[in-house]
Amino acid sequence: MARAGPSRTQRSQRAPQPSQSQSQRPARGSRRAPVEEDEDEDAEGDDDQDMDINGRLDDADAQLDRKASDLVRFALFMEQRRTLIRREDINKKVLASNSRSFNSVFERAQKLLKKTFAMELVELQSRNYREQDNVVAGDDLQEARNAIGVKKKSMLQPSAAAGSKTYILRSVLDPVIIEAAARTDERLYEEQIADSQENGDDDDDMPRSYGCIISWSTTDQVGALGVLHVILAIILASGRSMTDLDLRAHLKRLGLASNESISMNTQSTHKSLPIDTYLGQLMKQGYLDRIKLGDTKAAGGKRSRAPAATQTNPDENQAFEWHWGHRSYSEIGEQAIATFIAEFMVERSRDDDAEDDDDDDGKAARSRGKGRAGAEDGSRDKKLKNVYGAIERAAGGNLSDVK
């Protein structure tokens, strides 16, 4: 008997069904397309984010460079006027609202100053730290700390307010280069004289020619600078301090009484400055400190304010004591001043001996002078060392170099 097959209607109702693998294949393809699109969008987003971050970093670096250049210009302007550079002025006039970036800007400005101008910003030491360091200097400092003990150890801690948050510009050129630039060259001197004659520079107010690379007449006040070095030498040889009466007595012996004036060159707005005005200027510039006696505190004394140029000193009946200012320690140094004194005294003694030889007559005197000159040349270094040691003892301790 024949098996009955499906009817026509049943066959028509049965649609051909795809296999399981065929049914899954289109669905998987439809899911892969959105995933790949999401990955592309994420990659593009990451690239945009990286570009945004790099752009912000570049902008931040460029802003730091601009602030560093502003700090360099500000420092050069202040130094030309011999005005102390205070950190609060840097924050206010250079950094403005970005005061937290001081260290980064300062570091970049230092690199720019050294590379372009051969100069650097130096933080001045506070007077309290400097004075306690002068009490016991050199290798004796640690020994004194151990002898004092734990209770008084804080009195000699160098970390206590060592910095004053006040800066100056200082040259980083090797002293050998500076000495060579300041040395007179005969050929250069003749050319400078010839140029001045061609230009008709016969006026006494015109810059003088010295025959060296450094133009002394158009930079510092040479005469006033010499007076400053003499004052520093007198204070150093008097035990690092001197009363106002003693200082004025020494200046009077040198022809600088209180009513005398110091001549200035053409770079100054005044042709001369009274000695009192000049001393006040040295105080403002940080080369000298004047401390009022009888009003001392634990900090080591009260620093007096410099009198105005057009006003009389309101404290003229008070007793004052003069000290080196922090700028003198960082720009000149005790060792340089002691060397200056020693060389002056040794050369002066040689000149006096030469004058004595000129007064003598005869062949014996000339031969004696030659022998003496040879002996002096051999003992000059020894004399310099002895005079230097005497100055160090008079100062009351080891002499410091620039700090």
CB 362 within 8 A of CB 203: no
Phi then psi dihedrals of residue 157, to 5 deg? -75, 120
Nearest-CA neighbor of 237 among 391, 134, 343?
A: 391
Q: What is the pLDDT of residues 12-63, one digit of tens each?
A: 445 555 554 454 455 555 555 555 555 555 555 555 565 556 556 668 889 9
Lowest mean pLDDT among 195-209, 260-274, 298-312: 298-312
Distance CA(33)–CA(329), nearest Å, equals 76
Estimate to the nearest angstrom the gap between the alpha carbon of 86 and the chain centroid: 12
Q: What is the pLDDT of residues 54-107, one digit of tens each?
A: 556 668 889 999 999 999 999 999 998 889 999 999 999 999 888 889 999 999
Domains of the chain: 50-172 (1.10.10.1200), 220-332 (1.10.10.1210), 334-395 (no CATH)
Distance CA(281)–CA(289), nearest Å, equals 11
Distance CA(301)–CA(285), nearest Å, equals 19
Estimate to the nearest angstrom the gap between the alpha carbon of 127 and the chain centroid: 16
186: left (phi over 0), alpha (psi -120 to 50) or beta: alpha
Mean model confidence pLDDT for the chain: 76
DSSP character at residue 178: H
**Is the predicted pLDDT of residue 289 greater than 50, yes or no?**
yes
Phi then psi dihedrals of residue 132, to 5 deg? -70, -25
**Is the predicted pLDDT of residue 325 greater than 90, yes or no?**
yes
Phi then psi dihedrals of residue 38, to 5 deg? -65, -40
Q: How many CB atoms lie within 10 A of CB 359?
A: 7
pLDDT of residue 309: 44
Residue 277: band (very low, low, confident or very high) from pLDDT cuts 50, 70, 90? very high
Q: Is the pTM of this model over 0.85?
A: no
pLDDT of residue 221: 80
Name the one residue in this structure whose structure tokens are 């000159």. Answer: 373
The tokens describing 384, both together, are 């310099």
